[in-house]
Amino acid sequence: MAALFLSLVRFGLVLWLVTGTCASAQSADERDQPRILAIYSDSSTLTANIGVAEGLRTALDAVFEPRYELLTEFRGLQQFPGDAEDARFVDMLERKYGNGSLDAVLAIGPAALRLVRDHRARFAPDTPVIAAGVTARSYDLPLSEDVHIVESFFDLDATVALARRVQPDASRLVVFTGSAAFDDSWQRFARATLSGARGLDIEFVSGLTLSEFKSAAGRLDPDTILIILTIFEDAEGARFIPAEAAKAIASVSGAPTWSVYRTFFDDSGLDTGAGIVGGVVEPFEVIGRTLGALAHDVIAGAASPGTIVPVPRAPVIDWDELNRYGLDPARLPDDAVLLNYEATFWERYRWIILSAAAILLAQTMTIAALVVQGRRWKAAQADLVAQRLELARLSRVSQLGALSGAITHELNQPLTAILADAEAGAMLLRRFPPDIDTVTEILDDIAQQDRRAAKIISDLRALMGRGTLDRAPFDLNVVVRSVVDLTRSEALMRGLRVALRTAPRPLVVLGDASQLQQIVVNLMLNGMEAMANQPPATRGLSVETVERDDGTCALIVHDSGPGLAREIAEDPFRPFATTKDGGLGMGLAICRTIAEAHNGSLAFEAAERGARAVLTLPLDRAR
């Protein structure tokens, strides 16, 4: 039992420690998350309150990231005026927030500030207060050091200066104020403020009914500046919301209308032409952001006692009203905020257009560079082709040098026959009577030998032609026969026989006949030289053309020599690969280049003896 009792004591102690630790952590978390109560003087649907609330939330989200609790209450002074409603409202605040859990109270508007000042002890004792939407005149009350102010200032001087900038020809200034006590205070303030204005005839108008205000405004000319301050009450005692009274007057005014109140501007969906042109005012969102920033400093203990922060002001212009009076937009200040303005396509998408233009420019420059590079590449390729063709021509000339003896012998035969026939014909013609039939046969033989010599010369000229690639259809069989005929004497001098077998029907290919002749000559000479050290009886060279089923034809040159040397067997077409004394090793490389230029190929195939070179070319099916 004692052990059980000790175990229960230990468990209880641990549970107490854990519970206490969690409670402490929870309290710390709650203290890290401030609770803020925002009290608005009027209803939640007012444009001003909506703007302030949006700016306030934005600022608090930024500074508290966003660990805070924002509680909101609306007094609804316009709908529910009177001390009895104030009392009921304070009772509700006490029931909801009287436990002392608030870290700050925000009072938006003069009525909210008075209510908090008078009754804070009931629902938020010793809680700092930050007020906004109030002017120096509206909070002229005894305030304690824990009350901080975001001060509004309705800048009449700046608004008049803005109006004179936009209406440079204006020489008259008219100021409308109502008949309520607050309206009178505004007129007195305006008279004192504008007493030093020069270049303007200033007229203060009050003590009129709303209808009379509208009539007076309608008689004003466009070169007049009309400023409407507040009209809470007219001469007959009728009460108004100042913003609605101002818009009713501005809608019929012959002069551009200006104001120091942000709520007077027509950006709430009313018809065009029913609002104020502009003024230097405090944007509601800016009031809210300033209030949120000061609230953070107060809660963090970074604000001095009784801090007063002015709200930044900005010139605001209603674009529709500006156009209604034909005022020049070029006269607007650069920092003007435009209402009811539809940005042009360029203004809306300027950065996108500029970015796209920059991308297009970069692409254009890249394409231009590629075009220039492509042209240079083509020029280099053309130059390379020209050099290759010239090298091929020089190779052909070199081959002809090697065949010079055979060519001389080949030409000597028809020339000798022509000479003998001519001498015999002359002798027969000197007889009487001349043997005409025999002379005719001799002349026919001369013509035949002449054609043979001309063909040899024509083939030589083709081989020695300039290095240009002239594509034309020709019969591969004819090209091969011409080369065999040209090299027949060379073969005889080397003591070997050449076996020629051509395909039974024409093998028409598209290309340059002279360049393909060069391949045939080179392959035949290589085969002859490979057999130079063999006994004459073993020297054999076969040249064959065949047609294949895949739409190609082939030229096969096969010798009975020792085959490819070991030094070049791996890649016989490599430039400068040679086994000949004094050879450059460019012949086969040039031949393969020519074959590829004709969309063909040149390769060595395995053979039981000697080297077997195969040139493959596509047939010209269009023929």
CATH of the domain at 180: 3.40.50.2300
Q: Which two tokens stand for residue 122?
A: 């009931």
Q: What is the 3-state secondary structure (H, E, C) of 406-461?
A: HHHHHHHHHHHHHHHHHHHHHHHHHCCCCCHHHHHHHHHHHHHHHHHHHHHHHHHH
- Residue 253 has what pLDDT? 93
Number of folded domains in the chain? 3
pLDDT > 60? residue 266 = no
The pLDDT assigned to 5 comes to 39
- Cα angle 320, 326, 329; round to 5: 70
Based on the fold, state whether residues 304 and 229 are members of the same structural domain: no
Lowest-confidence region among 45-54, 113-122, 262-271, 392-401: 392-401
* Residue 420 belongs to a domain: no
Average pLDDT score over residue span 93-101: 87
**What is the pLDDT, as a whole number, of residue 582?**
47
Same domain, 474 and 525: yes
What value does the mean pLDDT take over residues 370-385? Answer: 78
Mean pLDDT comparison of 112-116, 264-268, 603-607, highest-scoring range: 112-116
The answer as to whether 365 is a domain residue is no
Residue 177: pLDDT above 70? yes
Q: Which of these, 248, 205, 242, lies nearest to 224 by C-alpha position?
A: 205
* Spatial CA neighbour of 73 closest among 40, 106, 45: 40
Quick check: 313 and 282 in contact, CB under 8 A?
A: yes
Asked whether residue 480 falls in the same domain as residue 591, the answer is yes
Decide if 181 is inside a domain.
Answer: yes
Q: What local confidence, expressed as pLDDT, does residue 67 receive?
A: 82
Q: What is the pLDDT of residues 22-48, one digit of tens each?
A: 433 343 344 468 999 999 998 888 778
pLDDT tens-digit readout, 550-570:
999 999 999 988 888 777 777
| pLDDT of residue 430 exceeding 70 | yes
Is 427 a residue whose pLDDT tops 60?
yes
Judge whether 524 and 541 are in contact, CB under 8 Å: yes
489 and 528 in one domain? yes
Q: Quick one: 171 and 302 in the same domain?
A: no
Q: Taking a C-beta distance cutoff of 8 angstroms, is the pair 168, 219 a contact? A: no
Across the beta sheet with 612-618, the strand order is: 497-501, 540-547, 552-559, 612-618, 601-605
In a domain, 618, yes or no: yes
Of the chain, the percentage scoring pLDDT greater than 70 comes to 80
443 inside domain: no
Work out the angle between the directed axes of helices 242-250 and 210-218 (0-180°, nearest 10): 30
- Determine if the pTM surpasses 0.85: no
Continuous H helices in 497-600: 513-530, 587-597
Residues 591 and 482 in one domain: yes
- Check the CA dihedral 128-129-135-139 and report its sign: negative
The answer on 488 and 620 residing in a single domain is yes
Could you tell me which residues are beta bridge partners of residue 500? 543
Q: Which of the two residues, 150 and 443, has the higher pLDDT score? A: 150
Portion of the chain with pLDDT greater than 90, in percent: 34
Query: Does the pLDDT at position 619 exceed 50?
Result: yes
Give me 60's structure tokens: 């608090």
State CA 561 to chain mean position distance.
67
**Both structure tokens of 257:** 């209308």
Q: 520: domain CATH number? A: 3.30.565.10
- Work out the average pLDDT over 441-466: 65
User: Which residues in 563-587 are b (16+ Cβ under 10 Å) and which e?
Assistant: bbeeeeeeebbeeebbeeeeeebbb
Task: Select the more confidently predicted residue: 60 or 444.
Answer: 60
Q: What pLDDT sits at residue 148?
A: 93
Whether 476 and 601 map to the same domain: the answer is yes
Does residue 228 sit in the same domain as residue 88? no
For 241-250, how does the pLDDT look when each residue is reduced to its tens digit (9 = 90+)? 888 899 999 9
Q: State which residues form the domain around 144.
A: 29-153+284-310
Which residue has 């929870």 as its token pair? Answer: 26
**Does some domain include residue 439?**
no
In a domain, 522, yes or no: yes
113 and 260 in a single domain? The answer is no
Q: What is the mean pLDDT of the chain?
A: 81
pLDDT digits (tens, 9 = 90+) for 56-95: 999 999 888 768 899 999 998 878 888 999 999 999 999 9
CA atoms within 13 A on the CB side of 225: 26
3-class DSSP state of 474 = strand
- Is the same domain home to 210 and 273? yes
Q: What is the dihedral of CA 253, 259, 264, 269, to 10 degrees?
A: 60
- Residue 165 in domain: yes
Per-residue pLDDT at 452: 63
Q: Give dist(CA 366, CA 546) in Å, integer.
A: 50
**Tokens (6 digits) for 358:** 């920059």
Q: Let me know whether 132 and 169 are in one domain.
A: no
Please give the C-alpha separations between residue 517 and each of 393, 454, 484, 524, 560, in angstroms, as whole numbers.
11, 17, 10, 11, 22
Task: Give kind and range of the element (H or E) at residue 131.
Answer: strand 129-134
**341 — pLDDT class (breaks 50, 70, 90):** confident
Alpha-helix residue ranges (DSSP H) falling in 167-260: 181-193, 210-218, 242-250
Angle in degrees, CA 284, 285, 289, rounded to 5: 120
Query: Which residues lie across from 540 on neighbouring strands?
Result: 497
Give the dihedral of Cα atoms 177, 178, 184, 188; nearest 10 deg. Answer: 10
